Structure 1
Amino acid sequence: MVLRIKRLAGAVLLATCALAFSEPHENAGAASFDMLLIGAGARPLAMGGAYTAVPGDIYSLYWNPAGIASIKKTTFMADYMRYALDMEKGMPAFVIDGSKLGNAGTAGGYVNYFNAGSFEAVDENGNRLEDEDFTAAYIEGGVSFARQLPQMQGWDIAAGATFKGIAEYIADYRTTGLGFDFGVLCSPPVSALKLGATVKNLGTVFSSDTGSRMPMVFSAGLYFASKEWRNARFALDINKPLTSYYTIRLGGEYSLSRNFSVRAGRRFLENEVRHWIASLQGEEAGYVRENFNTWSFGVGIKPSARMLFDAAVLGNTFQSLPFFQFSVIFIAR
């Protein structure tokens, strides 16, 4: 009974943390590994998570593996977020440029972890069990490969895939799984627009709970970076987790100089979008604004030609104070 209570407490905690970056739904909690829904990288999260169509940097390992196809130099990253209490999340990663792989494509790998800390154990009557304290954690390791495909009627197309293994630890209980991400990036002829699409977290869960499944997510996005507006970039994503509502994610970035950029983003819950549409049609109905529709802000600093530092401030539903996320990128010669 004590172990079952531990499992329940840990599972509820991990799911609650994941909900800080997703939305409540009647099927929430139906999937295992909800932590896969928490984004990685200070730049993408500062832009509201609108990153499916953004090409050419190491953050694409999480958001769309096709995005690493245009990386020209071997790159390393360290990413860290501090949660409430003693919870923390991070993701070290690397990408190897195609020239080192015989121009067959671009490859990369990462380890994504979430440490929920330690918990005091109690029995079914709420009595403290000092010798039964436990911990909860999650870890994911992935390898990615992407390459540019032959042009189709002037369109530039890249495709990528990620294979990953996942494990979740709650006290003495462990759940493992295998998953895949698939993504594409397209650029129309003579256009500043890029289009992206992904299917993430396809796979299976190895668990005694026969109802467990991966938190599959479908995403489509636009990215606009015009030569006329050289310093500004805009992104839009539509995101649909299998066990949650649609979200629309908007993000923007503006370079104040070659070495300093500011960013902002916002996530809109499906219900708020429906409210807007109803208002435009004159069918205003009672609507309570959800606090899941959150803003994010951030900056990017380039202290040298080979180093980038990104920081983000993230609104959330887990605590009143925002989360802070930091990423450092190092580009090899």
Structure 2
Amino acid sequence: MKTIKMFYKIIIILSCLLTGFNCLYAKGAGSNSGENILQSPGVRQMGIGGGGTAVSGDIYSIYQNPAGISIISEKQVSSVLENGLSNDYKASIVFGHGVSGQNKYGIAFAVSYFNGGPMEINYIDGTSKNVLSQSDFLAMLGWSMYTASNISMGYNIKYLSSQLIENYNSSAVAFDAGIIAENTTNKRLKLGLAAQNFGTSLKYRSKKETLPALIRGGLSYIIPIDTKSSLLTVIDGFYLIDESNFYKSLGAEYSMSDRFFLRGGLKILPDRRSFTFGMGLKLYEKYNIDLASEPNSINNIYKVSFTMKFGGIEHAGSKVIGQKQELSKLEEEKKYEYENIMEKIAVVDFEGKSVSHTDASIVTDFLRTELVNIGAFNIIEKNNMDKILADALFQQSECSTSDCAVVIGKIVNVKKILIGSLSKTDDAYFLTVNLVEVDTGKVIKSEDSKAYSIEEFKDISKSIAQRISQ
């Protein structure tokens, strides 16, 4: 609740500040200029519909929400090339550097060049001349830092130079600001807000054109599928202030083993809708190749990018040196990210009633294994839990009541804990499993099953795990 209130306060502050910027820099009538060069060249973002306000850890966040660059891993450099209408094209190079320490932050630098293609000018005397219709250059410097454990804020300064028909030159300076807040429980949900292109105007001789100032917002949510795959869902949109138009997008990215990515999105524009598609491939943990396409009735747009990571993750006061240390750090980061996405629970050995402790422990292991395979929870390893309990001088190894579940849950620091009991009559076994909320001691899910041998519980555990995970 505190995080949500803080997020709302920051939204209000940003909105007030940026309304003031708009009054200061965008007075008078005029048209927007520099729209093409100021659009994000990010291939990943294009593949999911163009949205990236709440997508962090990507160096192309500098183009949509600078708050996202605080989670950049390692040093990264990326280049992207995209085609446009007729013979025009745009090329971009981005460099980013993430630094983790007491205050985690990131910096990024980007340059983009837009070539509008040739244009033929016909003179009154019958002669003609081919000239470059338009050329734009954009340079950006971004910085972002975590201001709280779950809130990142970032800022950009950008310089834009534009030339029309080789004779009309102009330049402008603009600023961006953004914020990303994530929920503190499992890090799956992120909310993003950014304001872009608030600055001076482009002036071609006597004609003044304002930059396309906009307010952008979005959310992203990670849906874990199993330990090796996940689905990122994105809802995004921005409001173009001078045009009073709202642009929306939906998108998703399916990640397989953090090496292969499939992307799709829908762009909802004021006058039309279009679908986007994309894919990405990670090679040798250091290289990424991304492709994206937006087929439409006006023109089929394609983008391709190549990204390279190098140098290890720099820490305040020290550097990760050597290939083994570097790979080890990456593995730790992936493990940390997974553990923070999944809800952490503990599974205590079931109590045996008229059965041996060994049989009850075997059935517990069956269910624990299936819960791990499903990947909906981050299960505390049994040996680690036993060590924590031993250090706390807790001697009870079995548990079937809510009271002991609450005690064990608080010791091992989980919010939910799975307990149960295994009993036997003349010819059948009966298993009762309860999922207990540690804070309240309330049983939030309960499952009962019957089997005629211990081995049958191996298959039964699969269906129990599925129902508990729902």
TM interval, short-chain normalised: 0.7 to 0.9
1:30-179 counterparts in 2 under 5 A?
A: 30-98=31-99, 105-123=105-123, 128-131=126-129, 133-151=131-149, 156-170=150-164, 171-179=166-174
Give the Cα separation in 1 of the matches to 2:44 and 2:236: 15
Which of 293, 296, 308 is the aligned partner of 2:276? 296
In the TM superposition, residue 117 of structure 1 has moved relative to its aligned partner by: 1.8
Corresponding position of 1:282: none
Give the conservation status (yes or no) of the 8 Å contact 1:52–1:196: yes
Distance in 2 of aligned mates of 1:232 and 1:116: 37
Shift of 1:104: 6.9
CA distance 1:49–1:134, change in 2 (3 Å)? closer
Query: For residues 233 and 134 of structure 1, do their structure 2 counterparts lie closer, same or farther at Cα, with a shift above 3 Å needed?
Result: closer
1:198 counterpart (194, 199, 208): 194
Aligned twin of 2:293: 313
Greater Cα shift, 139-148 or 78-87: 78-87
CA distance in structure 1 between the aligned counterparts of 2:56 and 2:104, rounded to whole angstroms: 18
Partner Cα separation in structure 2 for residue 249 and residue 226 of structure 1: 19
Q: 1:304 Cα deviation (Å)?
A: 1.8
Asked whether the equivalents of residues 119 and 130 of structure 2 are also in contact (C-alpha less than 8 Å), the reply is no
Counterpart CA distance in 2 for 1:295 and 1:82 is 17
Residue 280 of structure 1 is matched in structure 2 by none
Task: Name the CA distance, whole Å, in 1 between partners of 2:104 and 2:310.
Answer: 20
Post-superposition shift, 1:119? 1.2
The secondary structure found in structure 2 opposite 1:212 is strand
Deviations 1:279-327 (A, max 9, x none): xxxxxxxxxxx4x3110001011122000110001134533xx111001
For residue 210 of structure 1, report the CA deviation from its aligned partner: 5.5
TM normalised by structure 2 equals: 0.55
Residues 38, 138 of structure 2: 8 Å contact kept: no
**Structure whose CA Rg is larger:** 2
Deviates more, 1:129-138 or 1:162-171: 129-138
User: 8 Å contact 1:121–1:128 — kept in the other structure?
Assistant: no
Cα deviation per residue 1:62-103 (whole Å; 9 max; x = unaligned)? Answer: 11110010113111010110223321111101012225x996
CA distance in 1, matches of 2:231, 2:148: 29
SS of 1:184's partner is: strand
Is contact 1:36–1:215 with CA below 8 Å preserved after alignment? no
CA 1:102–1:116 in structure 2 vs 1: closer, same or farther (change >3 Å)?
Answer: farther
Structure 2 residue aligned with 1:182? 177
Residues 73 and 184 of structure 1: CA distance in aligned 2, closer, same or farther (over 3 Å) = same
The secondary structure found in structure 1 opposite 2:111 is: strand
**Counterpart Cα distance in 2 of 1:269 and 1:117:** 26
Using the size of structure 1 for normalisation, the TM-score is: 0.77
Answer whether contact 2:37 2:137 (CA < 8 A) is retained. Answer: no
How far off is 1:31 after superposition?
Answer: 1.4
Matches of 1:76 and 1:260, distance apart in 2: 20
Residue 258 (structure 1) shift: 3.4
Does structure 2 conserve the Cα–Cα contact (< 8 Å) formed by 1:120 and 1:129?
Answer: no
* Greater helix share, structure number: 2
Q: How many residues align?
A: 277
* Distance across 1 between alignment mates of 2:158 and 2:90: 18
Distance 2:180 2:290 in 1: 24
Give the secondary structure class of the aligned counterpart of 1:67. Answer: helix
Q: Which residue of 2 aligns with 1:237?
A: 236
The match for 2:423 is: none
- Whether the aligned pair in 1 keeps the contact of 2:250 and 2:265 (CA below 8 Å) is yes
> Residues 226-276 of structure 1, C-alpha deviation per residue, up to 9 Å, x if partnerless?
335642110001211123421211010112443211100011135xxxxxx
| 2:325 is the counterpart of 1:324 | no
State the Cα distance separating 1:179 from its structure 2 match: 0.5
Checking the alignment, whether the CA contact within 8 Å between 2:122 and 2:129 is kept in structure 1 is: no
Letter in 1 for 2:232: R
Q: Distance in 2 between matches of 1:241 and 1:162?
A: 18
Q: Tell me, what secondary structure is at the counterpart of 1:97?
A: strand
2: distance between equivalents of 1:323 and 1:132? 25
Is residue 40–residue 60 contact of structure 2 (8 Å, CA) maintained in 1? no
Q: Distance in 2 between matches of 1:318 and 1:243?
A: 24
Q: Which amino acid in structure 2 is aligned with residue 169 of structure 1?
A: Q
For structure 1, list consecutive stretches of 5 or more residues without a partner in the other structure.
1-27, 271-289
Question: Partners of 1:53 and 1:104 in 2: how far apart?
Answer: 18
Return the alpha-carbon distance in structure 2 between the equivalents of residues 51 and 314 of structure 1. Answer: 16
- Whole-angstrom distance in 2 between the partners of 1:261 and 1:128: 55
Counterpart contact for 1:267–1:294, Cα < 8 Å:
yes
Is the 1:149–1:159 contact (alpha carbons within 8 Å) kept by the matching residues of 2?
yes
Distance in 2 between the 1:73 and 1:56 partners? 10
